[in-house]
Amino acid sequence: MAYRQIQSWGDVQFSNVYKIPCRDGVGEDYWNSACLLVSDLSAQEIELHLKQLEALSGRVRPSHQISLDVDLIAWGSTLDQMQFNPKKLPLAVDVKIPLYELWPNTDLEVKYLNYPKIDFNVNLQVISSS
């Protein structure tokens, strides 16, 4: 549902989906991906829509019961002019990995971590790291 909704906002490219261990070891492993979106919506409008998606999925804040967590990490008219959301800095490793796939920038590169990718074409099975 979230992917389809985001696609309705403009031209979008999604990264692979990665299975990531919970950062603090309290919650479940989760799936993480990134997207690049070209849209006529403002950053504020996109943030509002993302929070609405979370609420529609049943997310409750604060809680480790996270059904959906979507964040606006950066925005700009081109990749060279991206402005990072200061609330999200420094970027966590689980943000950098899928984002680097779409935006190969040395500041986003993470070496020596290979999280498994989720293969949606094979009954949601986890595929090997690459």
Q: What do you get for the CA distance between the two ends of the chain, in Å?
A: 27
Rg of the Cα atoms in the chain:
15
Mean pLDDT of 72-99: 90
Q: How confident is the model at residue 30 (pLDDT cuts 50, 70, 90)?
A: confident
pLDDT for 102 equals 92
- Domains held by the chain: number: 1
Q: What is the CATH number for 73? A: 3.30.70.560
In this prediction, residues 26-31 reach a mean pLDDT of 78
Is the pLDDT reported for residue 128 higher than 60?
no
Residue 127 has pLDDT above 50, yes or no: no
Residue 45: band (very low, low, confident or very high) from pLDDT cuts 50, 70, 90: very high
Domain limits at 79? 2-127
Cα–Cα distance, 98 to 96 (Å, whole number): 6
- The CA distance from 121 to 130, in Å, is 17
